[in-house]
Amino acid sequence: MAALYNRVALIGLGLIASSMAHAMRANGLAKEIVGYAKSAETRAVAVEIGLCDRVTDTAVEAVLGADLVVLAVPVGAMGELAEEIGAHLAAGTTVTDVGSVKQAVIAAVAPHMPEGVHFIAGHPIAGTEHSGPRSGFATLFVNRWWLLTPMEGADPAAVARLRALCEGMGAKVDEMDAAHHDLVLAVTSHTPHLIAYTMVGVADDLSRVTDSEVINYSAAGFRDFTRIAASDPTMWRDVFLTNKDATLEILGRFTEELFALQRAIRLGDGDHLHAYFTRTRAIRRGIIEAGQDTAAPDFGRSAIVVEKSG
């Protein structure tokens, strides 16, 4: 595939950005990839592993001459970063992000974008519990959704070009309104993460269950809670603070469902429990049929390990 961008600047070099670097290079989508990370240690690792063609010491240096800038930092840091680089962006440049909240990111970033710069907020729904520049791999986005939330009046050519990049890395692309995105992700990602953090915290608080028992006897359910709860704490702190309304709405609905299940268990209502579990099992089957996971007992994690080792 012909290169879609001459110079891509990756600001932040964690799992998503490093996977983008590998995927763009593997598919010939960018002529040059420039990287920057706030941590000197992260920059040193990126240089050591040859993640980018160049690694700069400042974000401003990284964006100079870039025709695509990717903001891959925690959502709470987006506004400050946009303010720092805004004046140094060339006309015609596309700026996107990879945050899992969209309304707050648009509100924080858009005011700092000069006229002639195309800001198109985005969110690749892909990841593992690992982070850092060594964690990326070229196939992370294959058959995963990449959601774009262009603002009203966005340049169609710039949107189409960014869509082509995402598709070139193997992703399936959809466009939606930012508010709708945040509600959908509150259901599919944000609230499940909060529940996982809570369940692991509950296990830690139960003094009658020793640490070794929690670790040694973790069945698949609790084991997967701990996998989710291993995600980056800074990123998830910012997600919940910036997608507050949608998350609280879904948590309210979750609490209502939980109360109904508590009542069914207390009353011995097996019919209610069986019907509920049958309905939720069908949703799981739908996820598998959509190609977003496998039916393997390990929830497809072995496939991810194979991809990363390649």
Nearest alpha carbon to residue 67 among 138, 133, 157: 157
Helices 270-289 and 244-267 meet at what angle, rounded to 10? 140
Round the average pLDDT of the chain to a whole number and report it: 87
Burial class (CB in 10 A: 0-12, 13-18, 19+), 71: buried
Instruction: Give the ranges where the chain is alpha helix by DSSP (H).
Output: 15-26, 40-48, 59-63, 78-85, 103-109, 156-168, 178-185, 191-205, 211-216, 220-229, 233-242, 244-267, 270-289, 301-309
Burial class (CB in 10 A: 0-12, 13-18, 19+), 167: middle
CATH numbers and ranges of domains, the chain: 5-176 (3.40.50.720), 180-309 (1.10.3660.10)
Q: What is the pLDDT of residues 205-243, one digit of tens each?
A: 665 556 666 666 666 677 777 777 777 787 778 888 888
Q: Given strand 5-11, what is the order of strands in its sheet?
A: 54-55, 30-36, 5-11, 68-71, 94-97, 118-124, 145-150, 172-175
For residue 233, give the amino acid letter.
P
The predicted pLDDT at position 155 comes to 97
> Would you write out the chain's pLDDT as a tens digit for each of its 310 residues?
689 999 999 999 999 999 999 999 999 999 999 999 999 999 999 999 999 999 999 999 999 999 999 999 999 999 999 999 999 999 999 999 999 999 999 999 999 999 999 999 999 999 877 889 999 999 999 999 999 999 999 999 999 999 999 999 999 999 999 999 999 988 888 888 888 778 777 776 665 556 666 666 666 677 777 777 777 787 778 888 888 888 888 888 888 988 898 999 999 999 998 988 888 788 777 766 766 665 655 544 444 333 333 3
Q: What is the pLDDT of residues 136-159, one digit of tens each?
A: 999 999 999 999 999 999 999 999
User: Global pTM?
Assistant: 0.78
Nearest alpha carbon to residue 147 among 120, 177, 163, 123: 123
The predicted pLDDT at position 310 comes to 33
